[in-house]
Amino acid sequence: MTAIGRVLLIDDNDDHRGALASALRERGWTVDTARTARLGLDLATKSPPDVVLTELILPDARGYQFARALRSAIDGEVRVIALTRLPAQLHAHALAEGFDHVEAKPVNVDTLIEKMRQG
């Protein structure tokens, strides 16, 4: 099967990262994973993804910092979607900081994929 697209998933929670990566792979996506912003940025610059899914709070950076660094490091367009348990009133701040979408955890995979496909 041909992959739908390449996703970079960054989450420091091994269980969440593993479950979401498996669900996306089952739906035809190629998924790279990272536990930290630094590892995610390294992966993204070596093999630029179509979509980046990142937790807003990572061990080594805030998601906002990561999103800015990612956009400046990668040539071309990449969709960046924040994954978070933070309250909905903080989602507008994430959008203002450069995220294309914010998805509340626990993630509904089908809803997330719709956001990943939006152009």
Question: For 57, phi and psi rounded to 5 degrees?
Answer: -120, 110
Question: Is a pLDDT exceeding 60 seen at residue 23?
Answer: yes
d(CA 78, CA 80): 6
Question: Is a pLDDT exceeding 80 seen at residue 116?
Answer: yes
Question: Is a pLDDT exceeding 60 seen at residue 105?
Answer: yes
- Across residues 16-39, what is the average pLDDT? 97
Count CB-CB contacts under 10 A for residue 17.
20
Domains of the chain, earliest start first: 6-117 (3.40.50.2300)
Between 75 and 55, name the one with better pLDDT: 55
Count CB-CB contacts under 10 A for residue 94.
21
Q: pTM surpassing 0.85?
A: yes
- Across residues 50-60, what is the average pLDDT? 94
**Helices H, strands E: what count in the chain?**
5, 5
Q: What is the mean pLDDT of the chain?
A: 91
β-bridge mates for residue 108, sequence order:
none
Q: Coil, helix or strand for 97?
A: coil
